[in-house]
Amino acid sequence: MLRVIKNFFINLGNIFRKPKTVLYPREKILINEGSRGLPRLKLNLDTLDIICNGCKDCEKACPQKCIAVKRTYEDNEAVLDEFYINLGLCSFCGNCVEVCKYKAIELSYRYQMAEHDIESLEIEKMDLIKQAEYSIRDFWTKP
Amino acid sequence: MLLIFKKIGIIVLTLGINLYIVSLLNNKIIARTELRRGFRGHKRGGTGFPFSSSLKYISKDYRFSIWDIIIFVFSLSMWAFLPISYNISLIESDFNLIAVIVIYVLIIILRIFSVSCSNYGFIISDSLKRINQILSLMLPMFFCILSVAVLNSTLSFRTIINSQYRLWNIAYQPVGFIVFFISIVLQIKLLNLFDLNQFTFEDNILKEGEGISKLVHRFSGYMIIFFTIILFNTLYLGGWEKLYMIRGDIMVAIKFYVVLVLMMIFERSISGINNETKIINLSYKILLPLSVFNLLLTIIFYILRNVYSLV
């Protein structure tokens, strides 16, 4: 009986509270800090080179085996050749970010990743670099 | 003759306007209790939603069965006996209360039969099970109505309302008031009338599909809600008796919407009672004994007042 009375007042109060839902896609919510979206490859801001050298630590740490990395050597220095992520398999666990010694990869705030065909879910190196604009929380307010 | 047509016109217009407002309010309030926005997706705050919703039903399928015609006729005919306001009553009789209850029970039984026909083919055992469930909830309600009839020594709505000019029946029948209110809310919950698009029960009493048949089903659902509120208002809250300077008609409207909103919120609050067994247990273990106790008290009061002239 007490529970019913309590529920009654909660429901009555809810009528006067601000609704939690938004009218997607016309309105969007501000994504919580630390939310895990599409991974992105970071650049060295001085030289504009990719920080990642293709050490494959992320590939080994990935529980879903959705990361594929290839490295080459230029002037005896390891550089990243190819970097693929299959978003159809990715669980956005963030292990790749944690194991990276060079802080070369991070998760952006991009959450809209629906595609028409399964091949489009395989993201390559250049696409992962372009995700920089999604690393701010309210990216959708920017033109 | 013209006067009757005028009254029929007023009743249909009143029902139509209230149907629009209630269907809008129902979806808005249920959305807001769940902290959802409701109709924001539609233009002008979703004011055209009831129209678009009804048009959607008509445009899907135009076939209808004999059940639908009977349900529709009964849904409208109950308003000939149950007066909404003091000058909008078509049939004046001393037995209006009985006529209205018979029509109400018939509508619910027909709705259940109609659903059984559409959902599973005609399965009579299932329908009888459902009717048994809903009648078990109606029993406390009938005892409460009987108590009010005994208290006022009449079966006419007009006399019941006129006898409340000094003090509403809620003051004489507080137990009956609570039992009646809980009973009608539980009936609405069991029939799932407020939350028409969602399946809260495992096997609920709703018609499948879309089309004119479904529209009639929804219409009869809203008519049952209107009926229970107006009956509640008439029996316990003074009906169309005016309050200070406020006119009777306006008082009816105010009480109708206050009770409606309270019912909606209360219906959402008893989410723990989410299956038929719990509802029927509540009815037999609490509501029925209370209503019988209330009836006995009223009969004792009646005997003391009228036979021994003690009260």
Residue B39 DSSP code: G
pLDDT 10s digits, A37-48:
899 999 988 888
User: What phi, psi does B163 have (nearest 5°)?
Assistant: -75, -5
Q: What is the pLDDT of residue B3?
A: 81
Q: What single-letter amino acid sits at B220?
A: S
A5 CB neighbours in chain B (<8 A) are 269
Residue A71 DSSP code: E
Note whether B11 and B90 are within 8 A (CB). yes
Q: Is the pLDDT of residue B199 over 50?
A: no
Q: What is the pLDDT of residue A100?
A: 93
Q: What angle do CA B213, B217, B219 make, to 5 degrees?
A: 115
A19 lies within 8 A of chain B by CB: yes
Name the band, by pLDDT with cuts 50, 70 and 90, for residue B169.
Answer: confident
CA–CA separation, A28 vs A39, rounded Å? Answer: 21
CA–CA separation, B176 vs A5, rounded Å? Answer: 19
Q: What is the pLDDT of residue B209?
A: 63
C-alpha dihedral over B176, B179, B184, B187, to 10 degrees?
A: -140
Q: What one-character-per-residue DSSP string does A30-60 give?
A: PPPTT---SEEE-B-TTT--BS-----HHHH
Quote the domain boundaries for residue A119: 30-141
The residue with tokens 């089903």 is B217
Q: Which residues contact A50 (CB under 8 A, 6 or more apart)?
A: A41, A42, A43, A44, A79, A80, A104, A125, A129
B34 CB neighbours in chain A (<8 A) are 14
The candidate with the shortest Cα–Cα distance to B96, out of B145, B161, B157, is: B157
Mean pLDDT on B139-153: 90
Q: Is the pLDDT of residue B203 over 70?
A: no
Q: Is the pLDDT of residue B122 over 70?
A: no
Pairing label, strands A67-74, A77-86: antiparallel
The candidate with the shortest Cα–Cα distance to B108, out of B16, B212, B195, B227, is: B227
Does A15 reside within a domain?
A: no
Which stretches within B91-173 are classed as H helix? Answer: 96-120, 124-152, 157-162, 169-172
Specify the higher pLDDT residue, B208 or B140. Answer: B140
Predicted TM-score of the model (pTM): 0.77
The residue with tokens 């609490």 is B286
CA–CA separation, B293 vs B291, rounded Å? Answer: 5
Note whether B156 and B93 are within 8 A (CB). yes
Does A124 reside within a domain?
A: yes
User: What phi, psi does A139 have (nearest 5°)?
Assistant: -60, -30
CA–CA separation, B169 vs B160, rounded Å? Answer: 9
B265–A20: do the CB atoms touch at under 8 Å? no
The residue with tokens 């009639």 is B216
pLDDT 10s digits, B62-102:
777 787 888 888 888 888 888 887 777 788 778 888 888 89
Question: How many interchain CB pairs under 8 A, A with B?
Answer: 43
The candidate with the shortest Cα–Cα distance to B40, out of B52, B30, B49, is: B49
Note whether B161 and B241 are within 8 A (CB). yes
A29 lies within 8 A of chain B by CB: no
A19–B36: do the CB atoms touch at under 8 Å? yes
Mean pLDDT on B133-141: 88
B269–A4: do the CB atoms touch at under 8 Å? yes
A21–B35: do the CB atoms touch at under 8 Å? yes
CA–CA separation, B220 vs B207, rounded Å? Answer: 12
pLDDT 10s digits, A114-132:
889 988 899 998 888 888 8
CA atoms within 13 A on the CB side of A56: 9
Q: Which two tokens stand for residue B281?
A: 């247990």
CA–CA separation, B42 vs B273, rounded Å? Answer: 33
Q: Which two tokens stand for residue B19?
A: 């149907």
pLDDT 10s digits, B250-292:
888 899 999 999 988 888 888 777 677 888 888 889 889 999 9
B272 closest CB neighbour out of A3, A11, A23: A3
Q: What angle do CA B246, B248, B251 make, to 5 degrees?
A: 65
Task: Extract the runs of DSSP E, i.e. beta strands, from chain B.
Answer: none
B35 CB neighbours in chain A (<8 A) are 14, 17, 19-21
Element (H, E) at B287: none
Number of domains composing chain A: 1
Note whether B160 and B154 are within 8 A (CB). yes
Specify the higher pLDDT residue, B248 or A97. Answer: A97
Interface of B with A in 24-83 (CB under 8 A): 29, 31-38, 40-41
Note whether A39 and A111 are within 8 A (CB). no
A20 CB neighbours in chain B (<8 A) are 35-36
Q: What is the pLDDT of residue B181?
A: 92
CA–CA separation, B192 vs A141, rounded Å? Answer: 42
Query: What is residue B40's three-state secondary structure?
Result: helix
The candidate with the shortest Cα–Cα distance to B175, out of B62, B275, B296, is: B296
CATH number of the structural domain spanning residue A101: 3.30.70.3270
